[in-house]
Amino acid sequence: MDPTALMNPKLVRFVTDVATEKSIPYQLAVRRSGGTDARAFTTSGLGVPSVVIGVPARYIHTHNAVIHLDDYLATVALVVEVARRLDATTIAGFTSFLAP
Protein backbone atom coordinates (compact mmCIF):
# COMPACT_ATOMS: atom_id res chain seq x y z
CA MET A 1 0.00 0.00 0.00
CA ASP A 2 1.11 3.49 -0.82
CA PRO A 3 -0.25 5.76 1.93
CA THR A 4 -0.88 8.54 -0.59
CA ALA A 5 -3.03 6.45 -2.96
CA LEU A 6 -5.83 3.94 -2.90
CA MET A 7 -4.93 0.84 -4.86
CA ASN A 8 -7.59 -0.66 -7.11
CA PRO A 9 -8.77 -3.80 -5.24
CA LYS A 10 -9.54 -5.75 -8.43
CA LEU A 11 -6.08 -4.99 -9.81
CA VAL A 12 -4.44 -5.95 -6.52
CA ARG A 13 -6.32 -9.27 -6.56
CA PHE A 14 -5.32 -9.82 -10.21
CA VAL A 15 -1.63 -9.26 -9.42
CA THR A 16 -1.64 -11.45 -6.30
CA ASP A 17 -3.53 -14.20 -8.15
CA VAL A 18 -0.91 -14.14 -10.92
CA ALA A 19 1.88 -14.32 -8.36
CA THR A 20 0.23 -17.22 -6.57
CA GLU A 21 -0.49 -19.12 -9.79
CA LYS A 22 3.08 -18.72 -11.04
CA SER A 23 4.62 -19.37 -7.58
CA ILE A 24 6.25 -15.94 -7.57
CA PRO A 25 6.95 -14.86 -3.99
CA TYR A 26 5.35 -11.59 -2.90
CA GLN A 27 4.24 -9.82 0.21
CA LEU A 28 1.68 -7.12 0.77
CA ALA A 29 3.00 -4.12 2.64
CA VAL A 30 1.27 -1.32 4.44
CA ARG A 31 3.47 1.74 4.61
CA ARG A 32 2.84 4.64 6.94
CA SER A 33 5.02 7.19 5.20
CA GLY A 34 6.34 8.07 1.79
CA GLY A 35 4.49 7.86 -1.46
CA THR A 36 4.77 7.23 -5.17
CA ASP A 37 3.41 8.64 -8.41
CA ALA A 38 0.47 6.24 -8.01
CA ARG A 39 -1.39 9.02 -6.21
CA ALA A 40 -1.49 11.11 -9.36
CA PHE A 41 -2.77 8.18 -11.41
CA THR A 42 -5.45 7.12 -8.94
CA THR A 43 -6.87 10.64 -8.80
CA SER A 44 -6.69 11.43 -12.53
CA GLY A 45 -10.15 11.82 -14.07
CA LEU A 46 -12.31 9.00 -12.74
CA GLY A 47 -9.12 7.33 -11.54
CA VAL A 48 -6.68 5.03 -13.27
CA PRO A 49 -6.47 1.50 -11.84
CA SER A 50 -3.10 1.39 -10.11
CA VAL A 51 -1.01 -0.88 -7.98
CA VAL A 52 2.49 -0.27 -6.65
CA ILE A 53 4.93 -3.14 -7.22
CA GLY A 54 8.30 -2.54 -5.66
CA VAL A 55 11.54 -4.29 -4.94
CA PRO A 56 12.37 -4.39 -1.22
CA ALA A 57 15.43 -2.23 -0.66
CA ARG A 58 17.55 -0.86 2.14
CA TYR A 59 19.00 2.64 2.11
CA ILE A 60 16.74 3.59 -0.81
CA HIS A 61 17.44 7.31 -0.58
CA THR A 62 21.21 6.98 -0.60
CA HIS A 63 23.70 6.63 -3.42
CA ASN A 64 24.01 2.87 -2.85
CA ALA A 65 20.67 1.21 -2.10
CA VAL A 66 20.88 -2.53 -1.47
CA ILE A 67 18.50 -5.14 -2.89
CA HIS A 68 18.55 -8.91 -3.04
CA LEU A 69 18.93 -10.28 -6.56
CA ASP A 70 16.18 -12.86 -5.97
CA ASP A 71 13.73 -10.08 -5.01
CA TYR A 72 14.61 -8.18 -8.17
CA LEU A 73 14.19 -11.26 -10.38
CA ALA A 74 10.86 -12.15 -8.76
CA THR A 75 9.62 -8.60 -9.31
CA VAL A 76 10.61 -8.69 -12.98
CA ALA A 77 8.92 -12.08 -13.42
CA LEU A 78 5.73 -10.79 -11.80
CA VAL A 79 5.57 -7.62 -13.89
CA VAL A 80 6.22 -9.54 -17.11
CA GLU A 81 3.55 -12.14 -16.31
CA VAL A 82 1.01 -9.48 -15.35
CA ALA A 83 1.70 -7.57 -18.59
CA ARG A 84 1.25 -10.75 -20.65
CA ARG A 85 -2.22 -11.25 -19.21
CA LEU A 86 -3.53 -7.73 -19.68
CA ASP A 87 -5.97 -7.15 -22.52
CA ALA A 88 -8.78 -4.64 -23.09
CA THR A 89 -11.42 -6.84 -21.42
CA THR A 90 -9.30 -7.54 -18.35
CA ILE A 91 -8.42 -3.88 -17.95
CA ALA A 92 -12.06 -2.80 -18.36
CA GLY A 93 -12.98 -5.26 -15.59
CA PHE A 94 -10.85 -3.35 -13.08
CA THR A 95 -13.23 -0.39 -13.27
CA SER A 96 -16.52 -2.15 -13.98
CA PHE A 97 -17.84 -1.01 -10.59
CA LEU A 98 -17.41 2.62 -11.71
CA ALA A 99 -19.65 2.32 -14.78
CA PRO A 100 -22.92 4.32 -14.60
- pLDDT by residue (tens digit) across 55-64? 988 998 899 9
More confident residue, 40 or 95: 95
pLDDT band at 50; cut points 50, 70, 90: confident
pLDDT, position 52 = 86
Nearest-5° angle of CA 10, CA 77, CA 95? 15
Domain count, the chain: 1
What residue type is assigned to position 34 of the chain? Answer: G
* C-alpha separations of 12 from 17, 28, 58, 69, 75 in Å: 8, 10, 24, 24, 15
Question: Does some domain include residue 1?
Answer: no
Residue 36's contacts (CB-CB under 8 Å, 6 or more residues apart) are: 2, 4, 5, 52
Let me know if residue 2 belongs to a domain: no
The neighbour count for residue 61, using CB atoms within 10 Å, is 7
Residue 15 φ/ψ, nearest 5 degrees: -65, -45
Q: Which residue has the higher pLDDT, 46 or 8?
A: 8
| Range of the structural domain that residue 89 is part of | 9-98
Q: Is residue 4 part of a domain?
A: no
User: How much is the pLDDT for 9?
Assistant: 87
Residue 68 lies in a domain: yes
Q: Does a structural domain hold residue 3?
A: no
Q: Is residue 66 part of a domain?
A: yes
Cβ contact 95:46 at 8 Å: yes
Report the mean per-residue pLDDT for the chain: 85
Mean pLDDT of 60-80: 94
